Amino acid sequence: MDLFAHRIIPIVVIHDAEDAYPLARTLVEAGLPIAEVTFRTEAAAESIAIMSEVEGMTVGAGTVVTPDQVEFAVESGAQFLISPGLRADIVREAQLQGKPILPGCITPGDIMAAQALGINTVKFFPADRFGGPEGIAGLSAPFATTQFVPTGGVSASNMAGYLRLPCVPAVAGSWMVPQHLLETGDFDGIAALVREALGIVASLG
């Protein structure tokens, strides 16, 4: 499983599990069959389970903040996990479950702690508040083996600046699945945003 094959991971917040299946189908048909479903709503676990059943779809759980959530997310069908920060017990539980995890790391100390846990790809969040591409480039100098997946303030207008960095295998963001389009069932609108993002990736060569 290559989480970064498309170089973009949509972040989605689902309040109604009935939106999960059509969203997954939309992402697959638009050419981006992956999503991080935030574990911030009551519908998250059920949505992950539904989306995981769609052929070709890779679904992960985001905003995972406790080891119990790791276990619950994996039981629901999550194939990868993303946490806003770094906690050793969360990382170890993900490793015990055999699932890749991207913990949030923003400082040299965070990165060194992640490396000690065997983690070499981290979430850089919130990217826009911590220097953007320049901040990542500065951190990458002493940590040449670490890769960064920026989230937070990433959009179609600035994603290319991140993806041009050799240490950035992918970006993640919610701009492709905005809440108002999901809640109104405008899946054509979501597909258009996804295709626009994929077009930007393609333009980078």
Q: Which residues are catalytic?
A: 36, 123
Give the 3-state secondary structure of residue 58.
strand
Nearest to 111 by CA among 85, 73, 131, 75: 85
| Rounded Cα distance, 61 and 113, in Å | 22
- 3-class DSSP state for residue 59? strand
Residues 6+ apart with CB under 8 A from 32: 6, 8, 10, 176, 194, 197, 198
E strands in the chain: 8-12, 34-38, 58-62, 80-83, 101-103, 121-124, 147-150, 171-173
Partners of 34 in beta bridges? 58
